[in-house]
Amino acid sequence: MGTYLPHTEEDVASMLSFLGLPSTEALFSAVPESLRLQHGLELDDGVTEPDVLAHFEDLAAANRARSDQMICFAGGGVYDHEVPPVTRALAGRSEFVTSYTPYQPEVAQGVLQALFEYQTLIARLSGLPVANASLYDGGSATVEAVNLGVGASGRSLVWVSQGVHPNWRSMLATYGHGTGHQIRTVPLTDGVTRWPDVDGDGPPGVVVLAYPNYLGCIDDVAAARRLCDETGATLVVAADPVAAGLMRPAGSWGADVVVGEGQVFGMPLAFGGPALGLFTCTEEHLRRLPGRLVGETVDVDGKRAYVTTLRAREQDIRREKATSNVCTNQTLMAVTAAVQLAWLGTQGLAEMGHRCASATHYARAALFSDGRLEPFVSAPVLREFAVRLPVPSDVVVERMANEGFLAGIPLGGDFEGGERGLLVAVTERRTRDEIDAFVAALTKAAR
């Protein structure tokens, strides 16, 4: 159909004649005849918009685990938090949606100022002075942080707590293959990282910890910091930004880089993407900062203005010497997070964390009270926790789906006994009735 083309046949004909060309084919004279597709793409012909929309409605209907129909107790970095209509309306304004990277600051102050505000907010949250203007997701932010750390320390041995999200650790492994970093996982002991002594491989160049960690436990940042002080390693903390509303900022524990997943601030579950990689660091590491950075300046009239800055770090200028290759990023998600954080305000952010923690407390108390189920580990948790089940957790998840619950995330083989471990998240959106019903159903399903 080509519905989006303005050109009529006459337009095309008259433009071709202006070019002195006999046909549109002739536009492609540079393409060797032998290579050209003879019969077009083996795709169906175009269909109308309403037909396509109907197709996607069918696909959508085939997803049972959707938050409007199945009560969500799954988390693992992506949570079912409140997304108010006002955030959707503002971040969805087409000026934000259909613009690109602010290469021309004179006509991009909207996005630039929103990013500047985002950077300020994320920096405050982490307790570090500098935030970039977004990365793809929590995992890629962790990868970039490790790259920064290796560059800063000059050592490519990376000690990663097992409490870091398994998918993010998997990404560290994947990308470490290219950069040549050695990624070593340091296991959790009852939910908390016990750093080993330095061995024959020498001291780590980077240490990565999650706070709270994947099992929901409040890990020991101070110990990690001590390790870094002893070894000269760069400390990377993957912090849950909702927990950060209640907890000492990772920056204040001495983290060099704080990363995280920003989906919690106004984004839907979105099957995991687009999400938002949060990245903050100390001033010391500014020149290694990956991605875009917006700074305040003035225009020729002395009027306040914003512009992307320290551009010399970036790939388009520094090319093979750039610390990162990111170009297109998650700006719209950063704008969304800025809107959502301003919607929350000081009090709303604290209350959101508090509500999650209270609901988690309530759910745990109900689940574990009669002793039939027990916590997977005993360390203190905040807003997510793992349950030890008497039956395989993936079976339980299927059973629970039939009761209307997405019960959580099976821990899986990455954790000892994880086949019977289930990671459960309870957000501020879960009502007492929902939690009560969940507890009853889980207790039954776990038989």
Looking at 71, 114, 235, 446, which residue binds other proteins (CB under 8 A)? 114
CB neighbourhood size of 210 (10 A)? 31
- Give the whole-angstrom CA distance, residue 228 versus residue 220: 13
- Give the whole-angstrom CA distance, residue 117 versus residue 130: 12
Q: Which of 353, 366, 414, 280 is nearest to 81 (CA)?
A: 353
Residues 6 or more apart in contact with residue 11 via CB below 8 angstroms: none
Q: At closest approach, how far in Å is the CB of 198 from other proteins?
A: 26
Q: Is the dihedral of CA 350, 377, 422, 413 positive or negative?
A: positive
Q: Which residues inside 301-360 make contact with other proteins, applying CB under 8 A?
A: 301, 303-307, 309-312, 314-322, 324-333, 335, 338-339, 341-352, 354-355, 357-359
Q: At closest approach, how far in Å is the CB of 303 from ligand PLP?
A: 30
Residue 39 vs 200, nearer CB to other proteins: 39
Q: At closest approach, how far in Å is the CB of 282 from a copy of itself?
A: 36
Q: Tokens 């890990």 map to which residue? A: 219
Residue 85 vs 371, nearer CB to a copy of itself: 85
245, interface contact from ligand PLP, a copy of itself, other proteins, none, CB < 5-8 Å by kind: other proteins
Instruction: Determine the straight-line distance between the first and last CA of the chain, rounded to whole angstroms.
Output: 56
Q: Which of 308, 313, 265, 430 is nearest to 363 (CA)?
A: 430
Residue 151 vs 198, nearer CB to other proteins: 151
Q: At closest approach, how far in Å is the CB of 5 from other proteins?
A: 5
Residue 53 vs 107, nearer CB to a copy of itself: 53
Q: At closest approach, how far in Å is the CB of 315 from other proteins?
A: 4
Residue 174 vs 369, nearer CB to ligand PLP: 174
Hey, is 304 helix, strand or coil? strand
Residue 316 vs 436, nearer CB to a copy of itself: 436
Q: Which of 169, 367, 129 is nearest to 249 (CA)?
A: 129
Distances (CA, A) of 370 to 10, 286, 400, 403: 78, 52, 20, 21
- Give the whole-angstrom CA distance, residue 26 versus residue 29: 5
223 in contact with other proteins (CB under 8 A): no
Contact code string over 184-213 relative to other proteins, x by CB under 8 A: ------------------------------
Structure tokens at 383: 């807003």
Q: Which residues inside 302-341 make contact with ligand PLP, applying CB under 6 A?
A: 327-328
- Give the whole-angstrom CA distance, residue 318 versus residue 81: 39
Contact criterion met (CB below 8 Å) for 235 and 228? yes
Hey, is 386 helix, strand or coil? strand
Contact code string over 255-284 relative to ligand PLP, x by CB under 6 A: ------------------------------
Q: At closest approach, how far in Å is the CB of 447 from other proteins?
A: 20
Residue 136 vs 211, nearer CB to ligand PLP: 136
Q: At closest approach, how far in Å is the CB of 328 from ligand PLP?
A: 3
- Give the whole-angstrom CA distance, residue 218 versus residue 261: 17
Residue 242 sits at the vertex; the CA angle it makes with 208 and 259, to the nearest 5 degrees, is 30
281, interface contact from ligand PLP, a copy of itself, other proteins, none, CB < 5-8 Å by kind: none
Binding segment for other proteins (CB under 8 A), chosen from 79-87, 155-163, 202-210, 439-447, is 79-87
Q: At closest approach, how far in Å is the CB of 13 from ligand PLP?
A: 31
CB neighbourhood size of 268 (10 A)? 13
Is the omega angle on the peptide bond into residue 32 within 30 degrees of 0, that is, cis? no
Q: At closest approach, how far in Å is the CB of 51 from a copy of itself?
A: 10
Residue 104 vs 196, nearer CB to other proteins: 104
Q: What's CA 405's distance to the chain center, in Å?
A: 24
Q: At closest approach, how far in Å is the CB of 156 from other proteins?
A: 11
6 in contact with other proteins (CB under 8 A): yes
Binding site residues, a copy of itself, CB under 8 A: 49-50, 53, 82, 84-85, 89, 94, 429
390 in contact with other proteins (CB under 8 A): no
Return residues touching ligand PLP (CB under 6 A).
327-328
